[in-house]
Structure 1
Amino acid sequence: MASVKQFQVTFDCENPERVARFWCEILGYQVPPPPAGFASWSDYEHAQPADRRGAWFSCSDPTGVGPRLFFQRVPEGKVVKNRVHLDVRVGTGLTGAERLAVLTAECARLVALGASIVLVQEADGENESCITLQDVEGNEFCLD
């Protein structure tokens, strides 16, 4: 049996382009070029039927290592906590005050982009520090 080597992470959201561009800023991802025959994503969107404009957007890791992120518009808003979330690994290999300082600095950058803080968990002797945030549409993720 063959094993899966690639996957994408899909977000349900209200405004796919806004959420995608937020995640580009967090992860250093890039928006792919517009589909063939279109000079820009705006041109592509204007060519779509009115009810399909803004229905989806995507971004990818420019190195090809990370998964593609796909954002699709859904009619309902987010109601409860995510069952799956992304851990953004900015403190890997760091401990204690040094780790918390790196997480706090990245948290400040992301809040300036529109994220909101949910919970700051400081190291307790058993677990290292972690900061839980929400993206621009309320999807939880952790700075780890």
Structure 2
Amino acid sequence: MAAAFKDLCIDARDHQALADWWCSAMGYVRKDDAQPDPDDDWTRPLDWPVPIVDPAGHGPLIWVVPVPEEKVVKNRVHWDVVGS
């Protein structure tokens, strides 16, 4: 059976700022903002990974994950994106 693409994970020193940047660049929103539960006042801790989603439900779920280390080498992956 072939593998299927599920989620994308991005490591980031400042994961909160990078999540906001990708939301702005891709038209995504934080998952917690996209699907709020009116009966739940829980808030994701700031040091947890940030899931961002396409509000239309078409694009992949992206996790922006905090890491303690600074970036030291060139990116190993690059994204080809196109404006709409």
**C-alpha deviation, 1:88, in angstroms:** 1.6
Deviation of 1:63 (Å): 1.7
Q: 2: CA distance between counterparts of 1:20 and 1:88?
A: 16
Q: Work out which of the two has the higher radius of gyration on C-alpha atoms and give 1 or 2.
A: 1
Paired residue secondary structure (1:78) = coil
| Mapping of residues 9-20 of structure 1, within 5 Å | 9-20=8-19
Cα displacement string for residues 19-54 of structure 1 (whole angstroms, at most 9, x for unaligned residues): 111100000001122676325x4xx32xxxxxxx42
**Partner SS, residue 18 of structure 1:** helix
- The 2-side partners of 1:2 and 1:68 are apart by 20
1:61-140 matches, within 5 Å, as 61-90=54-83
Percent of aligned positions with the same letter in both sequences? 34
Query: Structure 1's 9 and 63: CA in aligned 2 closer, same or farther, altered over 3 A?
Result: same
Distance in 2 between residues matched to 1:33 and 1:72, nearest whole Å: 15
**Structure 1 consecutive aligned stretches of length 4 or more whose deviation exceeds 2 Å:** 33-39
TM-score where L is the length of structure 2? 0.77
Q: Distance in 1 between matches of 2:74 and 2:41?
A: 38
The whole-number CA distance in structure 2 between the counterparts of 1:82 and 1:23 is: 16
CA RMSD of aligned residues (A): 2.3
Confirm or deny: 8 A CA contact 1:16 1:55 kept in the other structure: no
Confirm or deny that 1:54 pairs with 2:47.
Answer: yes
Distance (whole Å) between structure 1 residues aligned to residue 30 and residue 67 of structure 2: 21
Deviation of the 1:2 alpha carbon: 5.2
Aligned residue pairs total 80
Q: TM-score, normalised by structure 1?
A: 0.48
